[in-house]
Amino acid sequence: MGDWQFTIPILQSRLDQWAELLSKNVEGWVLAALLLPVVLAILSRQVIATLGCALLLALTFCALISPSNASALLATGLYVGSLIGALSGVLARRKAARFQAELASLRSDVDRILAAEESRFLSELRSSSRERNPGAPTHAASAGPHPS
């Protein structure tokens, strides 16, 4: 417990310095740094990630402009963020269901191809054995009389 007593004031001091620096220097480089995650999310071509980054960017920008509204911004951000998270889960489930359906379709195609190949191979094997022994009886003829 003693370590936390020293860590919290140091952390609070650093966060206060960072907030003061950002509030004084809302210029091009700060805005560019804020836009970087959104640009990276756009490049990832993931809609949910882009929406989440845009939301966080808007909240960060509003907090930098008006720090007195931070609690309302935080509540709004958490709510919209939870909606984005839920939407992400729904989309992931749909994507997984589509993947499972495609996988089942591919499995049935492979099974059908394997059955056709097996049938073709067996017919070739029978025809080649008939060519080698033209006088040999077929399986039905060689079975002999059935006991009655």
The 10s digit of each residue's pLDDT in 49-106 is 788 888 888 887 777 777 777 777 778 878 887 888 888 888 888 999 999 999 999 9
Look at residue 19 in the predicted model and tell me its pLDDT.
72
Given a cut of 60, whether residue 138 has pLDDT beyond it is no
In the three-class reduction of DSSP (H, G, I as helix; E, B as strand; rest coil), residue 146 is classed as: coil
Where are the alpha helices (H) located in the chain, listed in sequence order?
2-24, 28-44, 47-65, 70-132, 139-142
Q: Is the dihedral of CA 103, 107, 110, 116 positive or negative?
A: negative
What is the mean predicted confidence (pLDDT) over 21-45?
Answer: 71
Rounded to the nearest 10°, the torsion over CA 48, 51, 56, 61 is: 170
| Ranges of each domain in the chain | 18-131
CA distance 91 to 74: 25
Residue 19 CB neighbours (<10 A): 14
Look at residue 9 in the predicted model and tell me its pLDDT.
78
In the three-class reduction of DSSP (H, G, I as helix; E, B as strand; rest coil), residue 64 is classed as: helix
CA distance 37 to 93: 25
